[in-house]
Each structure stands twice: as structure tokens, then as C-alpha cells.
Amino acid sequence: MLKTVGKFIFMLELGFKYIGIFKKTFFHPFITLKPAYETLSKNRQDYSNKVLDYLNIEVKVIGDLPQRDKILYAINHRSLLDIIIMERVFSNSNKNGAWIAKQELFDNGLYGKFFEYSGCISVDLENKRGLLTFFKSIKKTLAKVDNMNIYMFPEGERYNGENITKFQSGASKIAKANKLDIVPVYIKGHNEELFKHAPYKEKRVVEVHIGDIVSSATLEEEYTEFYKKAQAYNA
């Protein structure tokens, strides 16, 4: 019980500290989009690395991220750790980018400002006008930030099952509209349980599998094949 409380206190206190750090860039009157996203990406990665170090969790990457940018990374979603794990991966490869997140996360009174000020991009799936604004915003940002990447969970929400669940259409539509390549990513393991029992005295390792580029038209089918291979992989 004390370990659980201590973990959340650490993450919340660190999170509020980083909200202050994010705000310096988010509200900077003269910074342009490219250096803003580069700085916010670095700040998110620093936060995530501190959390993983505290939890004593390391990330092992199977495969390679593309060297070029303007990639949409399609990632499975099972755990509160998923964003933090992926920020470690992007940190190690010096990648910049933005997470696509539902508007309800931005509206949360506890951690909504963390998402807003850290450069995440909100989408309101229930609002047609909001969707139009969202797609215009993505196109504008990608046009002005040549080293930008997009990070998404195509399943839409955390899935507690053993496999993957049906993909929503957003990832494919964003990739097609902005001529982005899609790279599938699979975070292996029961990481909600891993998070539940952290921090650890001995280091724990999470495997992240990086696939080859797939088509927006067949994203779910190709991701499923990639996922099966990742599941069967033994180092």
C-alpha cells in the first residue's frame, strides 16, 4: 500500500513540476512551432525517463525506428505505462512528435493540463466541426515542422484483453490525408500488472517491437500479422 501511494505521489509531484516546464514553451510569445515541438518532446521524454528510472523499468527495443520523420506510429494500448515507455524509445532515437488524445483527457481536472501544455493534440470524436478543426491543425503543424511525428493508439482506448481489439479509423485517415507512412509498434507484456507492483528492487524489462512500414488502407490487417510475429518472438 505504501509503495503504491509513494509511486503516485512521486508521479504527480513530478508531473506538476513538468507542467510548469511545459508552460514556459507553450506560452512563449516568440517561439515558432518547430522549436516548440522539439522542446516539448524533449521535456516529455525527460519526465518519462525519470518515471521509468524511479520504477526501475527498462525498455528493450526489437527492430529499428526509421531514420526519417513524418511517420505515424501506430501503437497498441494496454497500460498506463504505454506513453511513458514509448517516450523512452523516442528519446533514445532523438525523435520529436505529438500524441493524439481524446478531448476528455484534456478536460480532466487532475492531469488535463499535462496533456495540453506538453504538446499533445486533442480530438473530439463527437463533434464534426471539432474533427474538421483537428485535421486542419494536423496538416498545418506537419507543414511547418519537418521533423514531426504522430503517435497514436489505433484501438482508441486501453484494451484489457489478451490480443488487440478493433482499430478505429482515425490513424488511417490521418496518415492518408497527410501522406504519412505508418510504422506499427507493439508493446509486449502485461504492463498494467507490471506498473501495479512497481517500483522494483531489481530491474524489470519491457519489450517494444518496431515493425516495417504498412499501408493506411490495410493498417489493421497488417498490424495483426506484425503483432502475431511479435508475440511469437523469443530473444
Give CA–CA dist 178/84, Å, rounded: 26
Give CA–CA dist 127/10, Å, rounded: 36
C-alpha cell recorded at residue 123: 480530438
Are 78 and 158 a contacting pair, CB within 8 Å?
yes
Q: Rounded to 5 degrees, what are φ and ψ at 102?
A: -65, 150
β-pairing verdict for 204-210 and 71-75: unpaired
Query: Can you name the CATH fold of 2-232?
Result: Glycerol-3-phosphate (1)-acyltransferase (3.40.1130)
Give CA–CA dist 85/152, Å, rounded: 14
Q: What is the pLDDT of residue 12?
A: 93
Q: For the segment 40-60, what is each residue's pLDDT rounded down to a tens digit?
A: 999 999 999 999 999 999 999
Mean pLDDT calculated for residue range 130-134: 83
3-state secondary structure the chain: CHHHHHHHHHHHHHHHHHHHHHHHHHCCCCCCHHHHHHHHHHHHHHHHHHHHHHHCEEEEEECCCCCCCCEEEEECCCCCCHHHHHHHHHHHCCCCCEEEEEHHHHCCCCCHHHHHHCCCEEECCCCHHHHHHHHHHHHHHHHHCCCCCEEECCCCCCCCCCCCCCCCCHHHHHHHHHCCEEEEEEECCCHHHHHHHCCCCCCEEEEEEECCCECCCCHHHHHHHHHHHHHHCCC
Q: How many CB atoms lie within 10 A of CB 158?
A: 14
Q: For the segment 169-226, what is each residue's pLDDT rounded down to a tens digit?
A: 889 999 999 999 999 999 999 999 999 999 999 999 999 999 999 999 999 999 999 9
Q: How many CB atoms lie within 10 A of CB 228?
A: 13
Q: What is the pLDDT of residue 228?
A: 93
Q: For the segment 86-111, what is each residue's pLDDT rounded down to a tens digit?
A: 999 999 999 999 999 888 889 988 88
What does pLDDT average to over the chain? 93
Are 87 and 115 a contacting pair, CB within 8 Å?
no
pTM of the model: 0.95
Confidence of residue 3 (pLDDT cuts 50, 70, 90): confident
